[in-house]
Amino acid sequence: MDASAGVLGRPADDALAHPLFEGLGVDRAASPAAVVIFGASGDLTSRKLMPALQALASRGQLSPGTAIVGVGRTDLGDEGFRRQMRQAVEAAGGRRPGGKVDEQAWAQLEEGFRYVAGGYDDLATYKRLGEVLEDLDRDHGTAGNRLHYLSTPPGVFSAVVHQLGAAGLHHPARGGQFCRVVIEKPFGRDLDSARRLDHELHEVLEEDQIYRIDHYLGKETVQNVLALRFANTIFEPVWSRQYVDSVQITVAESEGVGHRAGFYEQAGALRDIVQNHLLQVLALTVMEPPASMSPTGIRNEKVKALDAVDVLEPHEVLSDTVRAQYGGGWLGGEDVPGYLEEDGVAPDSRTETYLAMRLRVDNWRWAGVPFYLRTGKRLPKRVTEVALEFSRVPHLPFAPTQAVQLGPNALVLRIQPDEGITLRFGAKVPGQAFDVRTVSMDFSYGAAFLEEAPEAYERLLLDALLGDPTLFIRTDEVEQAWRIAQPLLETWAEKPVLPVPYEAGTWGPVEADRLLEADGRRWRQP
């Protein structure tokens, strides 16, 4: 257990040195520690983790006593690991202005690189790891602190944690303050497997040691949902059923499955995006104001929000969800293959690459407001947004011909890629006639702030080193999210139906349009 933990194994909120909305300044610097990456030869380490660690080192937010230990089945050796990580940082542009590697920071970081090869279920691997960590404590000043990052296939999460326990590496070494374990998604494949994995992890670890990561929560604009709501008088009063007609949350991707077909065949859109990213954004959108911006305060309200989401009955799964799979089509001027034509995909696959659903949040604030969620691959553009569409005015005093171009008011939070906020409202068209149409007022992060926003993994890795769990997912959050997703899995298993097709480069199948048309609404076109 972390030495800084409060009663009942929960982090002591007043021990955290910074509030949620404080920027990533140099005052947020981590203590010395050994960062152990399981799956170090994999894609995530090269694309995200190593560039993020290099960026933190460049900003002076990693202690000189930080070491990075790679663990993997591929036998790279220390020098091979250093070369591979250097290539990864160069490919990422160094994550600094000019796109070059900060050589001074890299030289400091590189001194603490070590690599341990071996199987994840082999105790000998962990004994060698323990010897390396002891050497780093003595020679590099890692001070007995440990951050284990599980960037492995989910099937070995439990094995890694149990072997850490068997080797005595699940707690800080003598003199150390913390030992934490970061676990990548997916956390289970369904409600039962998530509960089973949670039980297996808690056989070795305390809850305050487990950091379940969802990189979406590290995005600045996802966190800005909280700032927009709870720092502005003008928005919070209208953030409810009294003024909001409906809410749409979209996570669209223009890419296909690419080289992830093996994973995606086992996951699909529900497990890959909806159960984690989409439901986390939903929770931030509908949660009540916390008493404080402490980790416990925020995560308690997120759990309450997910608990208020009505679980769909089997007949509602069939009527209120649309499961689809992309076919071939044109996207960005390129003829792209359908999902069944992708390498590694079974020719009779029923895996969904698109999912739209209508949910209800059964509480005082949101009763009666439909929430429309959708995600899909091979859609026209990569975009993530939350759109609140407000109710129409009770009486429009203009002639119908004067308001032909007037749509409903809307507040749109653009999470990626054009991060910002758009407010849509009615205004008079210049001229002699009195015509009203919808106009937009835009806020852009890029134009308003000169400083570069940190990448999601930079924020989350630093938070894990600092012991701030605010943006990580608690065990009861995981269970609530699977509670919402489970009826879809069960209904699809009991009543196997082929996903409906949609053409690549479109916004999805016509059945998804009909889902909203039945309510007298339609999807936004971002």
Contacting residues for 308 by C-beta, under 8 A, at least 6 apart: 286, 361, 362, 363, 366
Closest listed residue to residue 302, CA positions, set 326, 276, 324, 321:
276
Give the CB-side neighbour count of residue 293, counting CA atoms within 13 A.
Answer: 13
The alpha carbon of residue 460 and the mean position of all alpha carbons in its chain are separated, in whole angstroms, by 10
Question: How far is Cα 296 from Cα 21, in angstroms, rounded to an integer?
Answer: 15
Coil, helix or strand for 414? strand
Cα–Cα distance measured from residue 446 to residue 257, given in angstroms and rounded to the nearest whole number: 30
Strands 146-150 and 383-390: unpaired
DSSP, residue by residue, 339-398: GGGSTT--TT----SEEEEEEEB-STTTTT-EEEEEEESS-SS-EEEEEEEEPPPS---S
**212 close to 183: Cβ distance less than 8 angstroms:** yes
Instruction: Say if residues 157 and 183 touch (Cβ distance below 8 Å).
Output: yes
CA angle in degrees (0–180, nearest 5) for 262-264-267: 120
**Closest to 422 (Cα-Cα) out of 462, 386, 373:** 386
Q: Find, among 213, 216, 283, 287, the residue nearest to 473 by Cα.
A: 213
Query: 3-state DSSP call for residue 205?
Result: coil
Q: Which of 162, 215, 277, 315 is catalytic?
A: 277
CA distance 272 to 39: 20
Q: What angle do CA 99, 45, 271 make, to 5 degrees?
A: 115
Q: First-to-last CA distance in the chain?
A: 46
- Kindly state the DSSP code that residue 161 receives in the 8-state scheme: H
CA distance linking residue 83 with residue 81, whole number of Å: 5
Contact between 177 and 210 (Cβ < 8 Å) = no
Structure tokens at 488: 């879809």
Q: Which residue has tokens 């159960």?
A: 275
Sequence-ordered list of residues with C-beta below 8 angstroms from that of 295, at least 6 positions apart, any chain: 11, 13, 16, 468, 469, 470
Give CA–CA dist 196/143, Å, rounded.
Answer: 34
- Look up residue 45 and give its DSSP letter: I
Whether 277 is catalytic is: yes
- Residue 231 C-alpha from the chain's centroid: 23
Neighbours of 503 (CB within 10 A): 16
Active-site annotation, residues: 277
